[in-house]
Chains A and B, each alone.
Chain A
Amino acid sequence: MSDLEQFRAETRAWLAENCPEEMRDGDITAENQCWGGRQWEFQSDAQKRWFEAALAKGYTVPTWPKEYGGAGLSADEAKILTEERDRINARKPLSNFGISMLGPALLAFGTHEQKLMHLGAIARGEIRWCQGYSEPGAGSDLASLKTKCEDKGDHWLINGQKIWTSNADISDWIFCLVRTDFDAPKHKGITFILIDMATEGISVKPIILISGHSPFCETFFDDVKVPKAYGDDNLSVVGEVNRGWDVAKNLLVHERGMLGTMSPLRGATGPENLGGYAAGEIGVDATGRLDDPSLRQKIAQAEIDDWAYNLTVERLNDEANAGNGLGAKSSMLKYTASELTKKGSQLRMDIAGTDAATIGPDGIEYGSLANTWLYNRAYSILGGTTEVQLNIISKRVLELPSA
């Protein structure tokens, strides 16, 4: 038996013993996933047991080095772990922005001390991170951000405002882009800084979206003092001062990769077969087919696009593993996934007709279909709009001239 076969056998046995039955529903949504953080309370005993078992093994962040709380798995081993987890339909024991976004950036750009301070806390689910990028005046043109960060000797002084900070109201720390040089060209005066949300001067206000609620907040910084050193080292700034854009770009690729691999047309909670769902809702004609030929075509075309998208995720991953990096093609995945996500919920709304357009008795909460449909409009805006993705493809993949 090869080492990898051995590893697979061990992993399978470990999962069988340690993953509780209730965690084998494969159902990871924002509502039921384990986020961690200072305010975190487990939703069930099974969720807690599963988290603790994974933590003990380093499997909350399997590929991270052992000294930072991971299991130090190789890419091949990590793939086997994912395959074996998927095979029994197990949820991820812990998932959040610390794992998917900040962690990879710290591993690439952080100092050993920064990694020691933050990665372990992420791995142990102790700290929940949010992202402070966009500002009211800096959306698609992110590099024009103005939140001011001044060097005050032993600390940084921060004033300004961030917007679209997902879950800022329940997060513990924020990784933030701030302006440290107002005279330099806009990409060259930005610094990537880590801030404890409990620091004096930070206030948070949730934003209500067209769906009636949302994870998004506005985050205000009013004379916020960020200590330069925790001990002897400057642990606050990741990478060099004024070179934060490099870190941010690296991180955006992780974000796009993450958004790009969701199942788009049906969504996490949608029906397995959109056409079957439509036939159930609308009824069938004399030949037993969905009694709406135009919808039939629209659904089938969308299913074909969805299928081709999923295969493209697979193919580009295979190409990346074979040594041809994904690069700016991740923008193609982000673009297609967000457009398909919107299309899927639009189709479900069209299928359900006025039933789904009716406001519930409390006047605020829409039905879950409408809720998803409204929230999904944000997919082609957040993480870089569809138009920004198309700009990136034009410039970086097609190398078309700039204006």
Chain B
Amino acid sequence: MSLILTEEQEMLQDAANGFLTENAPVTAFREIRDSKNPDGFCRDLWKEMADMGWAGIIVNEEFGGSEFGYVGAGVLAEQMGRNLTASPFFSTSVLGATAVQRYGTDKQKEQHLGSICDGSTLFALAVDEGPRHRPEHIEFAATPHGNGYKLSGTKTFVADGHVANKLIIAARTSGEANDPSGITLFLVDADAEEIERAHTPMIDSRNAANIKVDGLEVTGDDILGEVDGGYEALEGILSAGRAVLGAEMSGSSQQAFAITTDYLKEREQFGQKIGSFQGLQHRAAHLATEIEMTKSAVLKSLQLLDDDFESASATCSMAKAKSGMTAQLSTQEAIQMHGGIGVTDEYDVGLYFKRVHVAQQMFGDAGFHADRLAKRSGY
């Protein structure tokens, strides 16, 4: 298989680029932020995205999806990264749809995939319990109760947790806090009265929630995947999320860099364009190179998710690490090369810088993934 987009995928890319620059550019994102929109995204826009088939981008046609696979999801995420488009796409259409489509029962698929595709149900994944990503470290308790379980515990940084209709919660059904086995995933209604959701606005102006659950009763029907074997499903969902976040960060890197090279060609100091200074040229050329490397890494991970989902975990880690490093460099350099205006709120580069930082933290930064790969390779 070639490491380039197919004609169909290129058409999707063009369509996404056209739609988002028109309907969801950075100015739209600013408006959401400045109006303190409690949802953190525009519901009308989300409806339009769903109508175009984006909400069900990875969902198979038999369930009403557009079946574009993870490459398709990445193509969209990259354009969203370019435009800083805020939407429930990541939590619902990538994490939620992966969880249900890959690990759900037939009944769960029937029940949820349709409403993911039409945009009416929003999902959120509740994994971490502290400020750093540690997916094995699950203390959130699921204790046997009657025929089912009782859920109690807390979760932090649940992206879109404040608006979600459904929560996927990683809970411990057996074993110790750092044990990958003994974890079970539950799919529950987010507005149950035993669930308390504290809205936590983030520096990237997206929204998340801290979640506290106190004695929520669930049954076997609410389990997603295997009892005690939920880590495998969690890994799969996180892998998909990492690759798509990689695509989003790749898009943000490209756009922050494009804004910066435009500025280098136009800004004059000492009587010449600052882009003629070798000190800046070499940094820009290095960054351009890293951006090319990142594109390849991200596309490979997305293709592998489509081709052989089970084997994609390490590759998705590498893509997340590489795209995270590049995005950090790209947005840091964007600010520095803009000089004073780079640190003003009025200029967009700071918005990219903030978004990329949160995306880096989400599901593990470059250091986390490097260590994970080292461990997998036996060192």
Which residues in A have some Cβ–Cβ distance to B below 8 Å?
A: 273, 275-276, 278-279, 284, 289-290, 296-297, 299-301, 303-305, 307-309, 311-312, 314-316, 318-319, 321-322, 329, 332, 335-336, 387, 389-391, 393-394, 397-403
Contacts and interface: CB of A to CB of B under 8 A. Distances in A.
A302 to B, nearest CB: 9
A105 to B, nearest CB: 27
B286 interface: yes
Contacts of B177: none
B293 A336 contact: yes
Q: For chain B, what secondary structure do more than half of its interface residues adopt (helix, strand, loop), or is it mixed? A: helix
Given A296-B374, A299-B374, A400 B284 contact: yes
A273 B318 contact: no
Nearest to A290: B379
Contacts of A314: 3, 296
A276 B378 contact: yes
Given A309-B293, A315-B299, A322-B2, A390 B282 contact: yes
Nearest to A395: B281
The 4 A-B pairs with the shortest beta carbon distances in the complex, nearest first, are A275-B379, A393-B285, A300-B370, A311-B296
Contacts of A304: 297, 318, 321-322, 369-370, 373
Interface in B272-327: 272-273, 275-278, 281-282, 284-286, 288-289, 292-297, 299-300, 318, 321-322, 325
B265 interface: yes
A398 B371 CA distance: 34
Contact of A394 (B285, B296, B378): B285
B249 interface: no
A289 B374 contact: yes
A311 B379 contact: no
Given A276-B377, A304-B321, A308-B318, A315 B370 contact: no
Contacts of B377: 273, 275-276, 300, 303
B38 interface: no
Nearest to A301: B370
19 contacts: A275-B377, A275-B378, A290-B379, A297-B370, A299-B374, A309-B293, A311-B293, A312-B292, A315-B4, A322-B2, A329-B292, A336-B289, A390-B281, A391-B281, A397-B285, A398-B281, A400-B276, A400-B281, A401-B276
A401 B370 CA distance: 37
A308 B318 CA distance: 8
B264 interface: yes
Nearest to B314: A307
Nearest to A391: B281
Given A315-B299, A401-B275, 16 more contacts: A290-B374, A301-B321, A303-B373, A304-B321, A304-B322, A311-B299, A315-B3, A315-B295, A318-B3, A321-B2, A390-B286, A398-B261, A398-B288, A400-B276, A401-B265, A402-B276
A395 B377 CA distance: 40
B293 A400 contact: no
B144 interface: no
B284 A394 contact: yes
Nearest to A394: B281
B379 to A, nearest CB: 3
Residue of B3, B273, B289 with most chain A CB atoms under a 10 A cut-off: B289
A348 to B, nearest CB: 14
Contacts of B296: 308, 311-312, 314-315
B171 interface: no
Contacts of B295: 312, 315
B107 interface: no
Contacts of A276: 377-379
A387 B286 CA distance: 10
B366 interface: yes
B285 A398 contact: yes
Contacts of B293: 305, 308-309, 311-312, 336
B367 interface: yes
A403 B367 CA distance: 39
A282 to B, nearest CB: 9
A339 to B, nearest CB: 10
Contacts of A402: 276
Contact of A308 (B285, B288, B322, B373): B322
Nearest to B283: A390
Contacts of B379: 273, 275-276, 278-279, 284, 289-290, 296, 299
Given A276-B378, A394-B282, A400-B264, A308 B294 contact: yes
